[in-house]
Amino acid sequence: MSPTADVVSVRRRDLRQPVPVDARPRGKHADPRYPSPTGIRQVLSFAIDLVVHAGVPGAVAYALDMREPGITNAQFAIIWAAGFVAMSILDRIFVQWATQATIGKAITALRVIRDDTGERPTLGMLVWQWFFGVLGIFAFLS
């Protein structure tokens, strides 16, 4: 048998200045590297996000109702529900991926980080998190 080796690409600057690796999970309660997410900040963040997710589509549906008199309650509800889902996807996936925070988290100075690396979450992780949140809502309501 011949010996095998793995080829690993390494930048020279990484060899000169190795990054210290800290194996502790990040962002836990009393982690000195990150501000602790207290309960009140998390609740306020959730409330702000809920107001944004529900309020913006409600305002759009109301504006359409004022512009087009005669919109039915069912049409108003459909516009609001579609807008709620669109705002939720936009804020919870794309804004959070770009900035590490939803609108509510940004206002309350919270950030989303990965437990293992402390870096920003991947787009796929945020999509799965949103999807399982929707499933959790349906499970709660059923």
Cβ 103 vs Cβ 48: under 8 Å: yes
Whole-structure pTM value:
0.72
SS3 54: helix
List own/partner pairs for 14-23 with CB under 8 A and 24 or more apart.
none
> What are the residues whose beta carbons fall under 8 Å from the beta carbon of 2, sequence distance 6 or more?
none
Supply the Cα-derived Rg of the chain in whole angstroms: 22
- What is the spatial distance between Cα 31 and Cα 95, in angstroms, rounded to a whole number? 25
pLDDT digits (tens, 9 = 90+) for 28-79: 666 666 666 678 888 999 999 999 999 999 999 888 888 877 788 898 899 9
pLDDT digits (tens, 9 = 90+) for 113-138: 887 777 888 999 999 999 999 999 88
Q: What is the mean pLDDT of residues 78-98?
A: 94
